[in-house]
Amino acid sequence: MESVREIRRPSGARHRDMTGRSTVAALALAAGAIAAADLLNPQYSPVSEAVSRYVNGSAGWLVTLALVAIGAASALLAARLGRLPGGGVARRTGRTALAVWAGGVLVAAVFPADPPGHWSRPTLSEMVHGTAAMPAFVALPLAALVLAGPLGARWPAGRTALRALAAASVVTTVALAVCLVDVMDGPSLGVGSAPTLVGLVERLAIAADLAWLALAATAVSTGIRNDGNAHA
């Protein structure tokens, strides 16, 4: 029986590593899809237009693909957090916030945003999209903050980077909220020919969020692997 358990453990570790790699790969796919959508739509300004608006342009399916990939990867990460021992309230709170983020992103993928220039006259799809996106953008920085301790304890080598990205997520999300309020009231925070910086700030927030998710997935994989080794 002991020999059977020893044979099975490496297989389980490989499966966990594959799950972690799949999460990071999905996030990389999302980042690439967003970048491609930007390049394929020179008629839109990435400085002033939100990523979700690009669903109405050339190859708009890339935006939907990116949102689905982010939502699926985040949901998988939330599920894997449940396998980690310890962490207490912080881990449970972070996992719940991560699930809210994942659900909001997936809903936003199903209900596309309106074309550029429709901030003051939203369709039903736009209203659902925005209603799902707002709590999602709040939930991810919350998850990053409360999970900094538990994930840093599981992966000490990544503790500093996780905390730095959590801080970046908070700062860029606050800046994004300011830009969105400004747009709703008539943009006044633009620079040069750009009437607003909401597109640029949103992309910075997304970049920080995706980077944190990738590191969090690595931390979870490392923690599970270390637990397996400790019980070997």
d(CA 155, CA 218): 8
DSSP 160-192: HHHHHHHHHHHHHHHHHHHHHHHHHT-----BT
Q: Is the pLDDT of residue 228 over 50?
A: no
Kindly report, residue by residue over 184-218, the tens digit of the pLDDT.
766 677 777 778 899 999 999 999 999 999 999 99
Q: Is 194 helix (H, G, I), strand (E, B) or coil?
A: strand
User: What are residue 194's DSSP bridge partners?
Assistant: 191
- With contact defined as beta carbons under 8 Å apart, do 114 and 126 qualify? yes
pLDDT at 111: 97
Q: Which residue has the higher pLDDT, 6 or 55?
A: 55
d(CA 36, CA 161): 27
Mean pLDDT lowest for which of 41-45, 60-64, 73-77, 83-87? 83-87
pLDDT band at 44, cuts 50/70/90? very high
> Residue 164 half-sphere exposure, CB side, CA atoms within 13 Å?
7
d(CA 73, CA 67): 10
- With contact defined as beta carbons under 8 Å apart, do 51 and 65 qualify? no
pLDDT at 181: 85
pLDDT band at 82, cuts 50/70/90? confident
pTM: 0.87
- With contact defined as beta carbons under 8 Å apart, do 199 and 48 qualify? yes
Mean pLDDT of the chain: 87
Q: At what angle do helices 124-146 and 159-184 cross, to 10 degrees?
A: 150
